[in-house]
Amino acid sequence: MDMITETIVTMIEAAFVVVFIVDLSGFSDTFCEWYGRLIHRKGVQGVKPFTCSLCMTWWTTILVAVCDGWVCWEAVATASLLAFLADTIGQALTMAKDILTTLISIIQNLTTRLWHRVGG
């Protein structure tokens, strides 16, 4: 795999990690709560860019491209596309979790039925 392809794959992986951390893990709520205590205010709703998956995806993927030495318009376009897809990535992660949860439930039910037949 060449350097550009590796960088793009790393940018995609970074986008998935950032979207998970910002949108799905509860980091944003914890960060806002911590920041609110730091500035002695209650009810801080958002601290951009740290609570915005689009913003964080943009900056993280740009940083990945810069660290890999791929500073060009294509890197900016790739980062822009990944930032644009941040909501879709979040939905895909949630859907993957739901599918895995359903599969695990099916496996548990089949295992339970098998044990009841063997034991009974």
- Predicted pLDDT at 18: 95
pLDDT mean for each 10 residues of the chain (120 residues): 91 96 84 74 68 92 96 96 97 97 96 83
Contacts of 90 (CB under 8 A, 6+ apart): 19, 20, 23, 24, 53
- Predicted pLDDT at 50: 75
Cis peptide upstream of residue 49 (ω within 30 degrees of 0): yes
Cβ neighbour number for residue 67 with a 10 Å cutoff:
10
Domain parsing of the chain, residue ranges: 3-87
- Predicted pLDDT at 14: 97
**For 76, which DSSP code?**
H
pTM of the model: 0.80
- Predicted pLDDT at 116: 87
- Predicted pLDDT at 3: 87
